[in-house]
Structure 1
């Protein structure tokens, strides 16, 4: 039987496991990195541009930590 109604999107109330939380976190960080990258590519050379590049660096570092934690959880299962 085909499923007509799709599953609802994740919400904080439906996330139960650490693995689910880390997956959601990596998705948000991916989106944040894409937004910061788009903002940095506009090309303004100002104080705001430097802050955008610093934000991208911090997002990439946080993404790496989240992906490392997720890989450690997946290895345990």
Structure 2
């Protein structure tokens, strides 16, 4: 029997799952950047389309930097705890 309603996400997601999600999101942004760069190359340099594509490139580069920062934070090993 098929479930109609999916299970809710766990309240404490695995950091490895979050890391995988961030990596996948970064790959999608990288692909979108390539497409946007190519659209600028094939359009007239001063056209509205080229301007919009360059704006999209700027925004995606910012998102990529945020994703890289988040990924670095996830990959930092936890601080060692001292025993008393």
| Runs of 4+ with >3 A deviation | none
1:34-45 matched pairs, under 5 angstroms: 34-44=34-44, 45=46
Give the alignment's Cα RMSD to 1 decimal: 1.4
1:1-77 matched pairs, under 5 angstroms: 17-44=17-44, 45-76=46-77
User: Which structure has the larger Rg over C-alpha atoms?
Assistant: 2
Give me the TM-score of the superposition, normalised by structure 2: 0.68
Q: How many residues align?
A: 62
5+ unaligned residues in a row in structure 2: which ranges?
1-13, 79-84
5+ unaligned residues in a row in structure 1: which ranges?
1-15
Give me the TM-score of the superposition, normalised by structure 1: 0.74
